Amino acid sequence: MKRTIRSRASVSPKPRQRLFGLLATALLALAILTGCSHTPPPPVAIKVPLATGAQVSPAAPITVEAAGGTLTNVVVTNTTDNGQAVPGEFSRGHQTWKSTADPAYASTYHLVVTAKNPANETRTQSFDITTITPTGTAYANVVPAPDLVAENGIGVGQPMVFQFTHPVTNKKDVEKHLHITVTPAQPGGWYWVDDEHVHYRAPQYWKPGTKIHIEADVYGVDLGDGVYGAENNSADYTVHDSWIAKADGSTELLTVFHNGTQIRQMPMSLGSPNYPSHLGPHVVSERAYSVVMDSCTYGVCKGDPNYYRETVYYDLRISNDGEFVHAAPWSVGSQGSSNVSHGCVNLSTDDAQWMYNNFDVGDVVEITNSGGEDLPVWDTYGDWDVPWATWAAGNATQ
């Protein structure tokens, strides 16, 4: 029998096989086409937050940001100050640049910024920033001066004080820029004793050994009426041992406690009934070997039988209206038996010298049974006569 042999090449593919082949070819072509196409990255976006077109506070540094790329060059000049260059630093990835010097008031800054996207396509833009022009500036000084107490520290009764050189009307906002760190931690609060002085204290006297750091970040802050903070300020204090003297007008005795332990008691004389000493805790704000005390400073002048002008030794100022602990050899006969001074705490010369040698700024003299009124909060320092609940509530009304 004769066999017919067919060539494989002559066999026609089935329809299903033909469909799969066409599909594979199309997918291969699509893959090749897709692999060869490329969507370019968008241009880098440059942003300068302070370049709003309006005048801005110089409190914040000048910042430049790049989105979708990196900054390659930033040049900032103060055109108000003869084109003075403004220094700054890039972040690690060059996504941001920040000035390292505070902008000045009443100044215009010109920025020229270059950045690139991932395709190395560069973009350069210019910006302008203008800072506010205040009607005036004021400083936030610290009291006591840190240099004054650097060696001996401060007493347990010393409030923290910022003394502004211009009245503050935006008290609530200014308080947000006042910061304090107390170690070990102790609660406390700010209280305005007048429009220029804001004090901070705890519910009780500071613990001996306490470290206190205070800051007023008020540069660029509106203090009110167009007056702005001239600069930031900060200070560090250390609280020394507790020294508290208790002056009892009913016994005419001054009793001294060192770290809570009674170590000395001495006869004294407080203010007479006509010139009673203020009641309450007083805080030593100044020490002086000698002071010329002149009654004319509070209206009792020559011709008045109560007039006096005398050099007095071993002086510890305990209020701003003339109350001192001091040597009063002329009243030794009355010390321990009657109150005859013009409001001061009179001691013998030996006792006054002992107080002078042991008490320092921030130490406490508590006066009771004097027949006088409470020491006013504004009278350096009447802080401790304000009840804690009142103090903690604050008094910044605007």
Domain with residue 299: its CATH number is: 2.40.440.10
Is residue 325, in this structure, part of any structural domain at all? Answer: yes
Is residue 143, in this structure, part of any structural domain at all? Answer: yes
Taking the C-alpha atoms of residue 242 and residue 247, their distance in angstroms, rounded to an integer, is: 16
Last residue of a domain, one of 76, 102, 130: 130
Is residue 3, in this structure, part of any structural domain at all? Answer: no
The SS3 assignment for 202 reads coil
Percent of the chain with pLDDT over 90: 85
Residue 304 has a pLDDT of: 86
Neighbours of 341 (CB within 10 A): 22
What is the total count of domains within the chain? 3
Catalytic residue among 166, 199, 278, 326: 326
Same domain, yes or no: 207 and 336: no
pTM: predicted TM-score of the whole model, two decimal places = 0.85
Residue 299 has a pLDDT of: 81
User: Is residue 213 flagged as an active site residue?
Assistant: no
Last residue of a domain, one of 217, 240, 263: 240
Q: Tokens for 167?
A: 């009245």
Same domain, yes or no: 201 and 335: no
Same domain, yes or no: 69 and 156: no
Tell me the helices (H) and strands (E) count for the chain, helix number first.
5, 27
Helix (H) or strand (E) holding 349: helix 349-358
Beta bridge partners of 125: 113
Is residue 397, in this structure, part of any structural domain at all? Answer: no
Residue 7 has a pLDDT of: 39
Q: Tokens for 206?
A: 């500071």
- In the structure, what pLDDT confidence band is assigned to residue 25 with cuts at 50, 70 and 90? low
User: Is residue 278 flagged as an active site residue?
Assistant: no
Same domain, yes or no: 234 and 259: no
Residue pair 44/125 in contact by the 8 Å Cβ criterion:
no
Average pLDDT in the chain: 92
Same domain, yes or no: 344 and 264: yes
Residue 18 has a pLDDT of: 54
Mean pLDDT, residues 146-172 taken together? 97
Question: What does the DSSP 8-state code read for residue 330?
Answer: G
Same domain, yes or no: 258 and 374: yes
Per the structure, the complete domain to which residue 159 belongs is given by 136-240
Catalytic residue among 199, 240, 282, 344: 344
Is residue 369, in this structure, part of any structural domain at all? Answer: yes
* Residue of 228, 233, 234, 235 lying closest to 104 (CA atoms): 228
Give the 3-state secondary structure of 227-239: EEECCCEEEEEEE
What pLDDT digit, counting tens, does each position of 339-384 carry? 999 999 999 999 999 999 999 999 999 999 999 999 999 999 999 9
Same domain, yes or no: 152 and 235: yes
What pLDDT digit, counting tens, does each position of 355-367 carry? 999 999 999 999 9
Residue 27 has a pLDDT of: 46
What pLDDT digit, counting tens, does each position of 228-275 carry? 999 999 999 999 999 999 999 999 999 999 999 999 999 999 999 999
Last residue of a domain, one of 80, 111, 130: 130
Residue 4 has a pLDDT of: 40
CATH of the domain at 109: 2.60.40.3780
Same domain, yes or no: 141 and 72: no
What pLDDT digit, counting tens, does each position of 178-192 carry? 999 999 999 999 999
Same domain, yes or no: 214 and 344: no
Taking the C-alpha atoms of residue 286 and residue 361, their distance in angstroms, rounded to an integer, is: 6
Mean pLDDT, residues 67-90 taken together? 97
